[in-house]
Amino acid sequence: MKIDKIVSDSPVSAKYAYFDTGAAAPPPTPVIDRVKAYLDETAELGTYLPSLRKRVYEDLETTRAKTAAFIGAKPEEIAFTKNGTEAICLVAQGIDWAEGDEIIVPETEMLSNLSVWLQLEQQRGIRVVRAKASLEGLLDAAAIAEHVTDRTRLISFVALSNVTGAVQPVAEICAMAQQRGVMTHVDAAQAIGVLDVDIHDWGCDFLSTCGRKGLRAIEGSGFLYIAEPRIAELSSCMIGWWNSSVDGEGALVLPQTAKRFEAGCPNVPAIYSLDAALDYASDLGQGAIEARCREITDYALQGLARIPGFELYGPADAAHRIGIIPFNIKGLDPRSLVLELEMRGIIIEAGHFMASSILEGYNIDCMARASIHYFNTEAEIDRLVSNILDIKESK
């Protein structure tokens, strides 16, 4: 991987060592150029100039095909969304729940993969069953299987945890669910653009993600994958122009593809950013990105472990984690550490990351989180480590 070129495509690197891809990655220059070019065209030609609009809608279908190919899916199985949360809600609101149906949601999940299920518990009388993870935040297919009953309809779980950095055994969980006739939704908000994902290796029914993290598209981008046989089973809770029409008899007609989950004016700038981000990631290669992420994560783990009082959360075995490194340093308040590092040109985050049960397991209420991506360099990691050491010594 040509790190120098990647760094020169990432203007943020001239100012900051940026370790917060877990929240949002800085888009590389080609992504921003693509969005700017489109916005300039809208200013110069008018957004709905017929010939521009025609080209935009054709481009959009090209992006749909590219998005599908990126994960090994078909274009018909992809709906664009504005973020990961919207994609999860489309699944949750689209299933024909009956009172007493059950969904398994492990304790590893952040709010966007929990609140909507709890709302359905209140509104439709489904039962949300919370499955335990190991202390390190790892899920186990056999342990989840113990919660499956004849009322279980869905297992909804994260592929790569935003809190612990744990990489879950997605294929094993999906295979176990499929054997029992249970659907699966994989929250891949942190995984897409980091892990080398093939939807058929995973075998899930639904996958949700945003584009602004591992993929490095802009905010407001995301997509939902729906396995072809599920498209007709899921009702679309948002409809209007773009995803519906009325036939000669006055009856409602919906597309037979995942486009039926996109209502109204598409978020064109975000979709263009997704297109350029997919090109950028594909040029680097998904396998090469995952390998680089593993390498640089290992380097960071080894460097941070040299700091006295360093406490790592999540899997101890580096093979079970990638990118996200949650930690505390004994004697340092994580929120103050974030502020002090920012003054030194280093960006990390601190908080509870909306996963209280995991923090309870560690008996803490806040953690620092460095999230590392392929554009980070060994020199930036060295700066992170030496600055934390310096801050610690100055206390």
Ligand X SMILES: Cc1ncc(COP(=O)(O)O)c(C=O)c1O
Closer residue to ligand X (CB): 10 or 190: 190
Q: Which is nearer to ligand X, 350 or 391 (CB)?
A: 350
Q: How far is the CB of 24 from ligand X (least distance, A)?
A: 8
List of long-range contacts for 59-66, beta carbons under 8 Å, 24+ apart: 59/272, 59/275, 60/266, 60/268, 60/271, 62/275, 63/271, 63/272, 63/274, 63/275, 63/278, 66/275, 66/278, 66/279, 66/282
Taking the complex as a whole, the smallest distance from the CB of residue 64 to ligand X amounts, in Å, to: 19
Between 212 and 292, CB nearer to ligand X: 212
Runs of H (alpha helix) within the chain: 3-8, 29-45, 50-71, 84-94, 115-124, 141-145, 170-179, 199-202, 228-231, 268-284, 286-305, 334-343, 356-362, 378-393
Give the nearest distance from C-beta 79 to ligand X in angstroms. 14
CA angle 283, 284, 285 (to 5 degrees): 90
Residue 188 or 385 with smaller CB distance to ligand X: 188
Q: Which is nearer to ligand X, 56 or 120 (CB)?
A: 120
CB of 209 to ligand X, least distance (A): 8
In the complex, which residues of this chain contact ligand X (CB under 6 A)?
83-85, 110, 112-113, 158, 162, 187, 189-190, 210, 222
Shortest distance, CB of residue 5 to ligand X, whole angstroms? 28
User: What distance in Å separates the CA atoms of residue 193 and residue 186, rounded to the nearest whole number?
Assistant: 15
Smallest distance, Å, CB 326 to ligand X? Answer: 13
Q: Kindly tell me which of 136 and 187 has the beta carbon lying closer to ligand X.
A: 187
Chain-centroid distance of CA 252 in Å reads 33
φ/ψ of residue 151, rounded to 5? -100, -5
